[in-house]
Amino acid sequence: MSTIGKSVRMERIFDRNTGNAIVIPMDHGVGAGPIKGIENLQETVNKVAEGGANAVLGHMGLPKYGHRGYGHDVGLIIHLSASTSLAMDPNHKVLVTTVEEAIKVGADAVSVHINIGAEDEFEMLQGLGQVARKCDEWGMPLLAMMYPRGKKVRSEYDVDVVKHAARIGAELGADIVKTNYTGDPETFREVVKGCPVPVIIAGGPKVNSDRELFEMIEGSLEAGGRGVAIGRNVFQAEDPTNLIRRIAKLVHGGMSAEEVIEADKKA
């Protein structure tokens, strides 16, 4: 295993000083099309990079914009999984890109999406295991998006299913796990405690206010989470650059949600 390669690349995703990360997923174009905020990928990457995002995440069309050659540097995570909202089963994620292909375009990490509880869960788990072995071979960090989704899952935010999903990702070789926030620090602490690799939270559906978003981030960090992977709630914001600067005050600056909001009022 190339542990040095993984260590070098992980530093392009996680801030050296805080050990936390702000990742902005932009893989939605395959699943949902050119939705608001990502019609122009280059423009969006510029906005989030200038705001201080640690990394952007997307499919193979993203590299031409991810490493910009100017301004703030931003890490590049290539997403290997795909499905579309038009499919008979949108939860059926398949591998469409290989680790080697991601390496060729300069990726700093790769990601896969696994729906725990889906009817074809076994295929996605098999793919996760295979990708993890390749990542070990090449020294490539692997981010596993672990979501509880299926007929037996009553709530995607229930702590029992979320901590199970997160643990599966770590057990099968992920270096970073992205999963749902369970709603409060007490329950999310169980998720973090049960997962031996860094856990970052998904942004989920569009929230109603910045306060709601900030409180979710604050709660996850309080529980031991290591950052965020927020897509729509950032790139569909009125000012994504400013929003990321404010999120950075939480993730990297140690401020509370209330402190960030009060600072905005004084500005």
Q: Which of the residues 147, 163, 181, 249 is marked catalytic?
A: 147
Burial classification of residue 145, based on how many CB atoms lie within 10 Å of its CB (0-12 exposed, 13-18 middle, 19 or more buried): buried
Q: How far, in Å, CA of 151 to CA of 210, rounded?
A: 32
Out of 134, 178, 181, 249, which one is annotated catalytic?
178
C-alpha distances out from residue 118 to 76, 145, 195, 248, Å: 28, 14, 21, 34
Nearest alpha-carbon partner for 223 in 169, 175, 179? 179
Distance separating the N- and C-terminal Cα atoms of the chain: 49
Q: Which DSSP symbol is given to 12?
A: T
Q: Which residues contact 96 (CB under 8 A, 6 or more apart)?
A: 59, 80, 81, 82
Catalytic residue among 6, 27, 93, 175: 27
Active site residue 27: yes
Instruction: Report residue 82: phi and psi, to 5°.
Output: -155, 155
**178 is annotated as an active-site residue:** yes
**What one-letter code names the amino acid at 220?**
S
Catalytic residues: 27, 147, 178
